[in-house]
Amino acid sequence: MAGSPQSVRKRAAEGAADRVRAAILRGELSPGSDLPGERDLAERLGVSRLTLRSAIARLEAEGLVRPVHGSGTRVLDFRETGGVDLVGYLAAQAMEGGVVPFALLRDLLELRRMVAVELVELVAERSSPEELSALRAQIEKQRQVVDDPQELVASDLHFARLLVRAGHNLALELLFNTVVRMIDQHPGLELAFRANAEGTLAVYSRLLDLIETGDGRRASRVARRLVERLDRATLQRISEITGQTYERSGG
Amino acid sequence: MAGSPQSVRKRAAEGAADRVRAAILRGELSPGSDLPGERDLAERLGVSRLTLRSAIARLEAEGLVRPVHGSGTRVLDFRETGGVDLVGYLAAQAMEGGVVPFALLRDLLELRRMVAVELVELVAERSSPEELSALRAQIEKQRQVVDDPQELVASDLHFARLLVRAGHNLALELLFNTVVRMIDQHPGLELAFRANAEGTLAVYSRLLDLIETGDGRRASRVARRLVERLDRATLQRISEITGQTYERSGG
DNA sequence: CCACTTCAAGTGGTTAAACCACTGGAGGGA
DNA sequence: TCCCTCCAGTGGTTTAACCACTTGAAGTGG
């Protein structure tokens, strides 16, 4: 019927959520308007109403939609209410169209830089010796898997997690989790973090040196320069890989 | 029966999600273990199985739980997989117990600082004249509602949103949305942002001056000092209000 | 003609009972 | 000992029905 049942192994609810989400992100459903009625929409998507409801619960959690009892399900403006999770979906959507979402990758790197730079200071001030040596050890491990892309990414993330932990800031830790989930749900995003693996490793090592001096402020300042340079190089690398020009968005 | 149906006007699914989430965050369900079976758990919570499933869909989106077809629903370690959204629930939970979650408020302020400081540089480099004048105007408006706490918070958030927009970084904008939702779902968190309203306003004005010079780097450095001082004062204020001592956690 | 009330249609919210799809382990056979 | 089969228990989905709420149009009174 409506839906193409072919070889789908995914959960139906998940698929339904994906399709509605995509429609919203593409702007096919204008903010402020209502979603089609559940009964109607369910039929169109080829799922039962309850499966659709499960999907809607998900979209609600993502801040894309707000069901109003007795009235309808409002489509929200995701730029005003959408959660960070959406970055992944937005990127994925762009890549489906064959486009590498440069602006988004850049934005993500910027976000990382913001956090990383200040995190260095927190770590310098708060971390225990054990945490620092764990970080050292992780760098060594990472150096040994530098040829295995998959292992490298995993190792990289692990280092980042240790660093975040050593900052003793729960909000930051949870934000990190969100980003990690985004990355491994939408592997295309790895590009932003993996494209310049060797450079990354060098920076990590240097950061750790700085942290161990205990001078948080200075560490932070230097970290800023390091990460800025790293990110520039990474974006450059990406533009080479994809053959696209690195263009500034927004502005 | 099990559930107390009293005057609850909340959606049942929401209530179920809240209860399960609370149990997880309190550590009553250890990570790695399975949730009780859906049929069983639904009965305990006094809702139907399908309502429970709706709740579980929500918890899955939050990274607290992962249902495995045919096996069970795993409880995840929220420190490793939980999203930023959880900050709100964690705070709310602490306040239910009469405790002001100092560490969390501090963490949130730190997160804001990280973003704000670098955001200033982005805005200085990328914003349009229109965006800047809109920011100016918003500061004026805010000055006029400084006596109405509710209006003040709203105005404050609006200014922040404009600022974030002017940074032209979508990832940041979405992160901001997440934080906003957290705040107005859990009004206790406002404390961290409202406790020192006048000081905030002064800082905003000063930030804008800096931005308009166009020297992003310098603006960023000064912003850092300003926000740091502001946050210290805010935490101090909170500790006075609540009568608790401002103690550094972690460290 | 307007303001108010009533009520019916349509929406999301919830429930029931049943079946499907999958996992994991118990038990039997080679 | 190993492998295969099978089945009991789990989450996933469907159906059909009812409840709770919102909305606005029709009806009523002024």
pLDDT in tens, B143-167: 898 888 778 888 889 999 999 999 9
pLDDT for residue A82 is more than 80: yes
Set of chain B residues whose Cβ sits within 8 Å of the Cβ of A154: none
**Mean pLDDT of the A60-76 span:** 96
Rounded-to-integer distance, Cα B205 and Cα B139, Å: 7
pLDDT digits (tens, 9 = 90+) for B122-135: 999 999 999 999 99
Q: Nearest-CA distance from B106 to chain A in Å?
A: 8
The amino acid sitting at A131 is E
pLDDT digits (tens, 9 = 90+) for A169-219: 999 999 999 999 998 888 878 877 777 777 788 888 988 999 999 899 899
Judge whether A48 is closer than 8 Å to chain B, CB to CB. Answer: no
Q: What's residue A244's pLDDT?
A: 55
For chain A, helix (H) and strand (E) counts, in that order, are: 12, 2
Judge whether A170 is closer than 8 Å to chain B, CB to CB. Answer: yes
pLDDT for residue B110 is more than 50: yes
Contact flag, residue B12 CB and nucleic strand C, below 7 A: yes
Structure tokens belonging to residue A194: 């993996």
CA distances from A150 to A48, A246, B177 (A): 39, 26, 32
As a whole number, the mean pLDDT across chain A is: 88
Q: Which helix H or strand E contains A65, and what residues bound it?
A: strand A65-68
**DSSP reduced 3-state for B65:** strand
pLDDT for residue A46 is more than 70: yes
CA distances from B135 to A133, B161, B185 (A): 46, 10, 26
Tell me the CA–C1' distance in angstroms for B11 and C13. Answer: 8
pLDDT for residue A71 is more than 70: yes
The amino acid sitting at A208 is L
Between B182 and B149, whose confidence is greater?
B182
Reported as half-sphere exposure (CB side, CA atoms, 13 A), residue B157 has a value of 18
Q: What's residue B246's pLDDT?
A: 46
Query: Could you tell me which residues come within 8 angstroms of residue B61 by beta carbon, excluding any fewer than 6 positions away?
Result: A57, A58, A61, A62, A85, B83
As a whole number, the mean pLDDT across chain B is: 88
Q: What's residue A18's pLDDT?
A: 95
Contact flag, residue B242 CB and nucleic strand C, below 7 A: no
Structure tokens belonging to residue B90: 């964690």
Q: What's residue A192's pLDDT?
A: 78
Across the interface, do B175 and A82 touch by the CB < 8 Å criterion?
no
Across the interface, do A104 and B171 touch by the CB < 8 Å criterion?
yes
Structure tokens belonging to residue B219: 């603006």
**DSSP reduced 3-state for A178:** helix
pLDDT for residue B8 is more than 70: no
Q: Which helix H or strand E contains A68, and what residues bound it?
A: strand A65-68
Chain B, nearest residue to A126 by Cα: B251
Write down the pTM of the prediction. 0.90
Contact flag, residue B17 CB and nucleic strand C, below 7 A: no
Rounded-to-integer distance, Cα A224 and Cα A126, Å: 19
The residue length of chain B stands at: 251
Which of B96, B115, B88 minimizes the C-alpha distance to B183? B88
Query: In B, residues 182-221, which contact A (CB 8 Å cutoff)?
Result: none
Tell me the CA–C1' distance in angstroms for A249 and C16. Answer: 54
CA distances from A174 to A163, B111, B137 (A): 13, 11, 35
Structure tokens belonging to residue B241: 């209000």
CA distances from B78 to A133, A194, B21, B89 (A): 25, 26, 10, 12
pLDDT for residue B111 is more than 60: yes
Q: What percent of chain B has pLDDT over 70?
A: 92
Which of B234, B189, B204, B227 minimizes the C-alpha distance to B113? B227
pLDDT for residue A83 is more than 90: yes
Judge whether A8 is closer than 8 Å to chain B, CB to CB. Answer: no
Across the interface, do A86 and B251 touch by the CB < 8 Å criterion?
no
Residue A66 bridge partners (DSSP): A74
Set of chain B residues whose Cβ sits within 8 Å of the Cβ of A10: none
Minimal Cβ distance to A178: which of B83, B103, B126: B83
Q: What's residue B7's pLDDT?
A: 31
pLDDT digits (tens, 9 = 90+) for B73-86: 999 999 999 999 99
pLDDT digits (tens, 9 = 90+) for A147-178: 887 788 888 899 999 999 999 999 999 999 99
pLDDT for residue A5 is more than 50: no
Q: What's residue A138's pLDDT?
A: 94
Q: What's residue B1's pLDDT?
A: 33
> Do B108 and A171 touch, CB atoms closer than 8 A?
yes
Rounded-to-integer distance, Cα B216 and Cα B122, Å: 7
When mean pLDDT is compared across A123-137, A171-185, B156-170, B185-199, the lowest value belongs to: B185-199
> Do B135 and B208 touch, CB atoms closer than 8 A?
yes
Across the interface, do B114 and A118 touch by the CB < 8 Å criterion?
yes
Minimal Cβ distance to A174: which of B84, B103, B250: B84
Question: Alpha helices of B62-99 — where are they, by DSSP H?
Answer: 78-81, 86-96
Q: What's residue B5's pLDDT?
A: 32
Rounded-to-integer distance, Cα A105 and Cα A182, Å: 12
pLDDT for residue B249 is more than 50: no
Q: What's residue A247's pLDDT?
A: 47
**Other Cβ atoms closer than 10 A to B97:** 7
pLDDT for residue B193 is more than 80: no
Q: What's residue A9's pLDDT?
A: 52
Give the rounded distance of the alpha carbon of B22 from its chain centre: 17
Rounded-to-integer distance, Cα B186 and Cα B67, Å: 27
Q: What's residue A98's pLDDT?
A: 82
Between B247 and B151, whose confidence is greater?
B151
Query: pLDDT-derived band of residue B174, with 50, 70 and 90 as boundaries?
Result: very high
